Amino acid sequence: MGTAKRLKFDIETEAIGKICKALGHPARIQIMTLLWRKDNRTCGEIVDLIPLAQSTISKHLLELKKASLVNIKNEGKKTIYSIEVDKIQILKKYLTNYLSTIEIAEQNKSTVLTTRHKRGKNSHLKQYNYQFPDKKIKQVAV
């Protein structure tokens, strides 16, 4: 039976890997976007804005906490989440340095942030440019 090889990387590379792994799910990116737009939100506020179950949002918040991307403050029965700016600065520094070393043709620079969406059901999500097409919407009988 073989043994697994474990490479040692410098501290910054390990930190970037941990951050990117935590941001490797669209729901966690959406949560970070919501916290960036308005810091100090409760899990309930996030659930109101993202059409996922409260337990699912809690699990994603736990993953973000494990990567030290969010701060947690308890106020009575409420848990308040905010962004850990120092970790975001590490990611920003890395991406800025990386992107400055590559060239991207101007016509290929369109991003999801420039995408236009139709108004309608779940329009509160569309303002943040994230949709969850696989999420089934419950039908209410009249």
Residue 66, phi then psi, degrees to nearest 5: -60, -35
Does pLDDT of 132 surpass 60?
Answer: no
Q: Is 0.85 surpassed by the pTM of this model?
A: no
At 115 the pLDDT is: 47
pLDDT higher than 50, residue 140: yes
Whole-Å CA distances, 35 to 2, 31, 85, 100, 141: 44, 6, 11, 27, 35
Structure confidence at residue 117 as a pLDDT band (50, 70, 90): very low
Q: Which 3 state secondary structure label does DSSP give 74?
A: strand
pLDDT digits (tens, 9 = 90+) for 63-114: 999 999 999 999 999 999 999 999 889 889 988 888 888 776 665 555 555 5
Predicted local distance difference test score (pLDDT) of residue 104:
66
Most confident of 32-46, 95-109, 112-126: 32-46
* Domains by residue range for the chain, with CATH: 11-102 (1.10.10.10)
